[in-house]
Amino acid sequence: MKYLTIILLLLGITVGSWFGYQKYQSMTADITALRTELNQESIRSDQILSLEDNIRALESDLQKQEESKRIYSILAGGDIMMDRGVEGRVKKLGEDYNFSFDLIRDDLLSADYVFANLEGSMSDVGADTGKPYSFRFEPAVAKALAQGGIDGVALANNHMLDWGRESLCQTTVHLDEVGIDYVGGGCNSETAERPLIKEFGNTKIGFLAYTEFYQGAHAVGDRPGMSEWNLTKIEERIQDLKKEADLVFISMHWGAEYKDRATDAQVELGQQFIDMGADVIIGHHPHVDQEIERYGGGWIIYSLGNFIFDQSWSENTMEGLLVDIQVQNRRVYDVKPIPIQLNENYQPYIIKNNEI
């Protein structure tokens, strides 16, 4: 009985694919026939209008059918930190910040969208809050991010307010100047809580971003800050976003640093987000990559590790993941991890099969 079920399933897929192919071929043939008829000299003007309408309708249907088959590639990357050793190395070598992306730029530009965590503010304002590790990037980094292939960033993390709220606000200004999307922070509560919605063909993806750290650091009124960490409100936002978008991706800054497995708290929270209606959780903060879990109808990427960082004291912190989140026709088609390595200049590159 088991094998009969498998055979019937395969037969159903084959027949369905055959009928889909036949429909595609039939529509293409109809358009060709109509164009041939349209080119005849004896055709009347009213017939021309009718034929043109029919051709447009068929071409529209054909485009929708082709669109439903297209797979879009959303690349998710981990922590980008362009201060401290990264900045020092760039300047020591007499380079600009484009240097950091030289070995991976082509790979990023080949994707339909690239999303990562911006591990610090980007400005020339503010005051150092005095943390042991305090990050702020030069405004010139913004252009390098854009030219390097970064399309969108999360601002909700434990370093975004290292140089104060005004530095966060200026970060969004610089991102706007180069056309990079952002989510999880802003100059006021409206922008900080606003989801990022992107369209890929017939699929709308809504992005949200949160961190479980610094829970009082959210924006209030016109005060800059991050998105509010409140699980009740987050569930409401997910449900509201599901009415507007086909898929919901949550960027999550969480977990324990340098642990190569997710904590029990991460697992519980990640599964809770999926139960709330999220489709993909994009995790970062541990600085090393962790497992990817298929849970219910969703995916939990617990940690992507470092994308660009200067933690050269350990092999694990000089490695990370890009994850190719493939979407097709309003669903997540597949999730594929892509190992990356950082070299001695903190430049990431994709590890080829023979290098693993």
What is the mean pLDDT of the segment spanning 275-282? 98
Return d(Cα 87, Cα 91) in angstroms, integer: 6
Which amino acid appears at position 27 of this protein?
M
72-355: CATH topology: Purple Acid Phosphatase; chain A, domain 2 (3.60.21)
| Confidence band for 352, pLDDT divided at 50, 70 and 90 | confident
Residues 6+ apart with CB under 8 A from 41: none
- Residue 27 scores a pLDDT above 80: no
- Whether pTM > 0.85 for this model: the answer is no
Name the average pLDDT for the chain: 89
| Confidence band for 16, pLDDT divided at 50, 70 and 90 | very low
Return d(Cα 191, Cα 186) in angstroms, integer: 5
Give, to the nearest 10 degrees, the angle between helix 165-178 and helix 141-148.
40
Return d(Cα 327, Cα 75) in angstroms, integer: 11
List pLDDT tens digits, range 136-154: 999 999 999 999 999 999 9
Q: Where are the alpha helices (DSSP H) in 70-149?
A: 84-92, 105-109, 141-148
Helix (H, G, I), strand (E, B) or coil at 224: coil
| Confidence band for 68, pLDDT divided at 50, 70 and 90 | confident
Give residue limits of the domains in the chain: 2-68, 72-355
| Confidence band for 43, pLDDT divided at 50, 70 and 90 | low
List pLDDT tens digits, range 223-244: 999 999 999 999 999 999 999 9
- Residue 323 scores a pLDDT above 50: yes
Q: What is the pLDDT of residue 17?
A: 42
Q: What is the pLDDT of residue 36?
A: 67
CA nearest neighbour of 282 among 261, 297, 302, 309: 302
- Residue 21 scores a pLDDT above 90: no
